[in-house]
């Protein structure tokens, strides 16, 4: 197979789980009548499944149940790689880390389970410092339960896209690693001050 | 319409173009027989169109021509927002900036145009310092032209998803802005050292 290049595929499931746990905001894609519906939601990985919660008014909510197919993308860091960072001659490229999953999804229609799941997700996301705890008696939590649907995705296919200049010589791969760090830290402040 | 909430939609086309120009790595979604095909590629915005280049061996290349439909996501910064950053009582949430586009795509089967487009894209991505210039007589460039297809997307629908705690009081919106900056700078080093 000529595509995708093998040196950009990482089949180490632990690397993929690291991406999911570090970058939990998933892009969730359902397809109906050949039209994609797309929502961005944090998903929590547990026992080879992914758990999420969706606004009942989101049109995609109807597709996140009844064992329907779903495609999920988790997005790690990415940046343009200028050939100027290398010691060897190369063409420009883009490096990124993405995990693509396929799965089927079932709705979990149980308010107590939903409530516990929101508390558990918050615990996970607040780790390790736990500056906030979502208490079971929080009145805002109870008020929201009727407007959220919980779902669970069984993963049927894993694909780790780690495009990180692994095919270059070690010092150039290291330069690409450093560039990925630098580029991501620089871009954000400038951009945010402009639009937000 | 109860979804998506209006305060999270930004219809200012200039804000969306800022996202595209700052974060050019697009997630390109085609659908065939109700199955999504997904590729991550930088796209360059020019005159209300998007220009890209794809590996001819990528199975999605066949779908990026003949006026086929395509859905595109551009991804800005994102992070978990702990209620602990606010001065008011809130539930946990996730903030993010995404631009969703729909369009139709035509292939441009012209090696000279492809070559110039790769040079132009590199100029754009190397701005403002231009530490690298892709020269027209670069032998690696010529060697690659037969393995790349160029395409142009005409945008038919724009949707700016700017979920940034805009519905909170001004000091809390500011706290969310600062958290988005902080979270993105912290996460990357730790993660990259683990998997790459």
Name the 3-class secondary structure at A56: coil
Q: Tell me, what's the ipTM?
A: 0.94
Residues of chain B with Cβ-Cβ distance to A131 below 8 Å are 82, 84
Chain A CB contacts of B97 below 8 Å: 195-196
> Considering only alpha carbons, which residue of chain B is nearest residue A176?
B196
Provide, as residue numbers in chain A, all residues whose Cβ is less than 8 Å from the Cβ of B2. 57
Q: What is the pLDDT of residue B8?
A: 87
Question: B165, A196 in Cβ contact below 8 A?
Answer: no
Nearest chain A residue to B162, by CA? A196
A55 near A147, Cβ under 8 Å? Answer: yes
CATH class (in words) of the domain with range A6-195:
mainly beta
Contact residues on chain B for A42, CB-CB shorter than 8 A: 80, 94
Is the separation of the CB atoms in B96 and B161 below 8 Å? Answer: yes
Residues 6+ apart with CB under 8 A from A191: B18, B22, B23, B76, B77
Return the pLDDT at B9. Answer: 87
pLDDT, mean of each 10-residue run, chain B (196 residues): 82 92 96 97 95 97 98 95 95 96 98 98 96 96 96 97 93 93 80 79
Q: Hey, where are the domains in chain A?
A: 6-195
Cβ of A3 within 8 Å of Cβ of B89? The answer is no
pLDDT tens sequence across A88-143: 999 999 999 999 999 999 999 999 999 999 999 999 999 999 999 999 999 999 99
Q: pTM of whole model > 0.80?
A: yes
- Evaluate whether A85 touches A91 at the Cβ level (below 8 Å): no
- State whether residue B184 sits within 8 Å of chain A by CB: yes
What pLDDT is recorded for position A181?
87
Decide: helix, strand or coil at residue A148: strand
Tell me the pLDDT of chain A (196 aa) as tens digits. Answer: 578 888 888 888 999 999 999 999 999 999 999 999 999 999 999 988 999 999 999 999 999 999 999 999 999 999 999 999 999 999 999 999 999 999 999 999 999 999 999 999 999 999 999 999 999 999 999 999 999 999 999 999 999 999 999 999 999 999 999 999 888 877 787 788 877 7
Q: How many Å separate Cα A4 from the centre of its chain?
A: 20
- Which residues lie across from B95 on neighbouring strands? B79
Q: What is the pLDDT of residue A1?
A: 54
Contacts of B23 in chain A (CB under 8 A): 187, 191
Cβ contact B55–A24 (<8 Å):
no
Contact residues, B window 2-31, toward A, CB-based 8 Å cutoff = 2-4, 15, 18-19, 22-25, 27, 29, 31
Tokens 């519906």 found at: A37
Which of B31, B122, B189 shows the shortest C-beta gap to A36?
B31
């Amino acid at each position: 197979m000529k595509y995708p290049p093998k040196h950009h595929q990482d089949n180490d499931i632990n690397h993929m789980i690291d991406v999911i746990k570090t970058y939990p905001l998933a892009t969730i894609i359902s397809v109906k009548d050949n039209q994609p519906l797309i929502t961005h939601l944090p998903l929590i990985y547990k026992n080879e499944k992914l758990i999420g919660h969706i606004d009942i008014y989101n049109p995609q909510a109807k597709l996140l149940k009844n064992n329907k197919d779903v495609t999920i993308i988790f997005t790690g860091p990415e940046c343009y790689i200028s050939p100027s960072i290398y010691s060897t001659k190369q063409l420009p490229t883009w490096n990124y880390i993405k995990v693509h999953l396929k799965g089927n999804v079932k709705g979990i229609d149980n308010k107590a389970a939903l409530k516990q799941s929101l508390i558990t997700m918050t615990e996970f996301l607040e780790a390790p410092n736990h500056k906030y705890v979502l208490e079971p008696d929080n009145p805002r939590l109870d008020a929201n339960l009727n407007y959220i649907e919980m779902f669970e995705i069984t993963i049927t296919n894993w694909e780790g896209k780690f495009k990180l200049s692994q095919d270059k010589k070690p010092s150039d791969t290291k330069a690409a690693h450093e560039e990925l760090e630098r580029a991501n830290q620089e871009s954000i402040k400038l951009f945010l001050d402009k639009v937000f």
